[in-house]
Amino acid sequence: MTIHYLNPHEREWQRKRWALWFGACAPTIVIVHGHLDDAIETVAEWAEEHAPGLLYPADMVNADYNEAVTDGLSEEKAWEHATADVMCLDQGRYMLGYEWGVLIEDPTRDELMALPASYGPIEAVEV
59-73 tens-digit pLDDT: 999 999 999 999 999
What secondary structure does DSSP assign to 33-96, as a single string?
A: ES-HHHHHHHHHHHHHHH-GGGSBPHHHHHHHHHHHHHTT--HHHHHHHHTTTEEE-GGG-EEE
53-103 tens-digit pLDDT: 899 999 999 999 999 999 999 999 999 999 999 999 988 899 999 999 999
**DSSP reduced 3-state for 52:** helix
**DSSP reduced 3-state for 33:** strand
